[in-house]
Amino acid sequence: MEEANTHADVKSKVDGKSWFYTDQVKEHFLNPKNLLLGDEQVKEFEKISNAKGMVGSPACGDVMKIWLLIEKDEQGIERIKECKWQTFGCASAIASTSMMSVMLSENGGMTLEEAQQIKPKQIVDRLGDLPTRKFHCSVLGDKALREAINNYYKQTGQIDKVKVEGAKIIDKILKITDKDIEEAVLEGARTFEDVQKKTKVGIHDKECIPEVEQLIRFYQEKYFG
């Protein structure tokens, strides 16, 4: 993490003093909750955690790692008791994951089913909003969380509950995938024209346009509700 008082994402480009973000974002960036600092803290929590997820790559950009402690309550329901994390992401990714970790473990802990259904927009709402161009950063923690839950299900033999998301080629000429369209929506595209401007989808392969429009509606519902 960069020094918070010099972070380009957090300081205003106009006067160098005002924050782009809400007080909640500022708090979770300056004082991130449940963040693991250094290898020693990771090793200590790994002794008790029973799930781990990671998305991204340090070699090409943002990366997010999440560790979960999942326990059964008195009714035998699996709940997330603790959520710890590390990231090389920007201020928005840090604040979003910090808030997500609080949401997952508060009030006795979310059930795994509830956690799988959490949407980035719910996290952003708790933060009091994020700039549109930074919304996609809030998805890092969400995706790592889903990886961690899948990891837990695999370790406990609940293979039928594992949810796998794979890329599918939509535009057969330009080889544009559903993941490309997902990223465009997360970066602020709301209409087919917006998505096409970002990805060039459907310019040559006209047959894919109805499926692209359907995917745009799907991802808007998935992330923004």
The C-alpha atoms of residue 94 and residue 2 are separated, in whole angstroms, by 11
DSSP 99-150: HHHHHHHGGG--BHHHHHT--HHHHHHHHT---GGGGGGGHHHHHHHHHHHH
CA neighbor of 92 nearest in space, from 118, 53, 57, 123: 123
- Mean pLDDT, range 96-111, rounded to an integer: 96
Residue 1 has pLDDT above 70, yes or no: no
- Mean pLDDT, range 17-41, rounded to an integer: 85
Q: What is the pLDDT of residue 2?
A: 39
Q: Is 222 helix (H, G, I), strand (E, B) or coil?
A: helix
Q: What is the pLDDT of residue 58?
A: 60
- End-to-end CA separation in angstroms for the chain: 31
Instruction: Give catalytic residues, as residue numbers.
Output: 60, 137
Q: Which residue has the tokens 């989808």?
A: 201
Q: What is the pLDDT of residue 57?
A: 61
Q: What is the pLDDT of residue 11?
A: 44
pLDDT band (50, 70, 90) for residue 133:
confident
pLDDT band (50, 70, 90) for residue 10:
very low
- Mean pLDDT, range 70-85, rounded to an integer: 97
Report the percent of the chain where pLDDT is more than 70.
Answer: 89
- Mean pLDDT, range 114-128, rounded to an integer: 90
- Mean pLDDT, range 66-87, rounded to an integer: 96
Asked if 181 contacts 195 with a C-beta cutoff of 8 angstroms, the reply is yes
More confident: 1 or 202: 202
Domains of the chain as residue ranges with CATH: 4-161 (3.90.1010.10), 169-224 (1.10.10.1100)
* 63: Cβ contacts below 8 Å, ≥ 6 apart: 54, 55, 56, 57, 87, 88, 89
- Mean pLDDT, range 163-186, rounded to an integer: 87
Q: What is the pLDDT of residue 225?
A: 73
The C-alpha atoms of residue 89 and residue 128 are separated, in whole angstroms, by 20
Residue 161 has pLDDT above 60, yes or no: yes
The C-alpha atoms of residue 152 and residue 162 are separated, in whole angstroms, by 9
The rounded mean pLDDT for the chain is 86
Residue 170 has pLDDT above 90, yes or no: yes
Q: The pTM is what?
A: 0.73
Q: What is the pLDDT of residue 61?
A: 58
Q: Is 80 helix (H, G, I), strand (E, B) or coil?
A: strand
Residue 209 has pLDDT above 50, yes or no: yes
Asked if 112 contacts 104 with a C-beta cutoff of 8 angstroms, the reply is no
Would you state the structure tokens that stand for residue 62, as one six-digit string?
């943002």
Q: What is the pLDDT of residue 3?
A: 41
